[in-house]
Amino acid sequence: MAAYIHPDAEVDGKALVGEGTSVWALSHIREHASVGRNCNIGRGVYIGPGTTLGDDCKVQNHALVYEPAQVEDGVFIGPAVVFTNDTHPRAITPDGRHKRAEDWTPVGVTVRHGASIGARAVCVAPVTIGSWATVAAGAVVTRDVPDHALVAGVPARRIGWVGRAGVPLEDQGEGRFRCPDTGEGYTERDGALHRDDS
């Protein structure tokens, strides 16, 4: 199935948009960006040049995904999420001229398979959000998030673990956890969570 591009969306001719993907009104996908198959790009989304989104991603209204972000398959990016790309932002240089592309080096946010970023969260590059992790709405992520971690707050800190269903895991004691939705078991070792059958 061909991609659907809303007439009021702007998709650069050098961008790639996969089959089955929908790009809704007022979204802007820049040159050399790559959006995978079966994605849903909501209203007013910005995807920067050279940014990569995998298959089956959902990017909600007004999210700003600045280059050079790398987003793997099955990622949820909530409404008004911001991925930054400049560690020392300035509009002008010390000598007063307008800052140009050659005056700074963009750094990106990486989001691993199946992770979710809640509404209005800000991810301050360079950071990596681990597989199946969940960033709570309104959080400000300033350091890497482990696989399956649930993080919240400003700055974001781990407050629990989540399974592949996105539901907080139940603590079974002695480093064992269980998903109340799927029944999957997990074990925590050395600050990392591992699915028991993986």
pLDDT of the chain, 198 residues: tens digit per residue: 899 999 999 999 999 999 999 999 999 999 999 999 999 999 999 999 999 999 999 999 999 999 999 999 999 999 999 999 999 999 999 999 999 989 999 999 999 999 999 999 999 999 999 999 999 999 999 999 999 999 999 999 999 999 999 999 999 999 999 999 999 999 999 989 999 986
What is d(CA 121, CA 134) in angstroms, rounded to the nearest whole number? 11
The pLDDT value recorded for residue 101 is: 87
Could you tell me the strand order of the sheet in which 149-152 lies? 4-5, 22-23, 40-41, 58-59, 76-77, 116-117, 134-135, 149-152, 157-161
Q: What residues does CATH 2.160.10.10 cover in the chain?
A: 4-161
4-161 has which fold?
Answer: UDP N-Acetylglucosamine Acyltransferase; domain 1 (2.160.10)
Kindly report the backbone phi and psi dihedral angles of residue 83, in degrees, each rounded to the nearest multiple of 5, phi listed first: -105, 115
Q: Is 130 exposed, middle or buried (0-12, 13-18, 19+ CB in 10 A)?
A: buried
- The pLDDT, as a whole number, for residue 162 is 98
Select which of 28, 32, 62, 88 is catalytic: 88
SS (H, E, C) 61-87: CCCEECCCCEECCCCEECCCCEECCCC
Residue 198: per-residue pLDDT: 62
Which residues are CB-neighbours of 27 under 8 A, at least 6 positions away? 6, 9, 10, 11, 41, 42, 43, 44, 45, 46, 47
The answer to whether 100 touches 86, Cβ cutoff 8 Å, is: no
**Residue 6 annotated to the active site:** no
Residue 1 has what pLDDT? 86
Sign, CA dihedral 86-77-150-55, equals negative
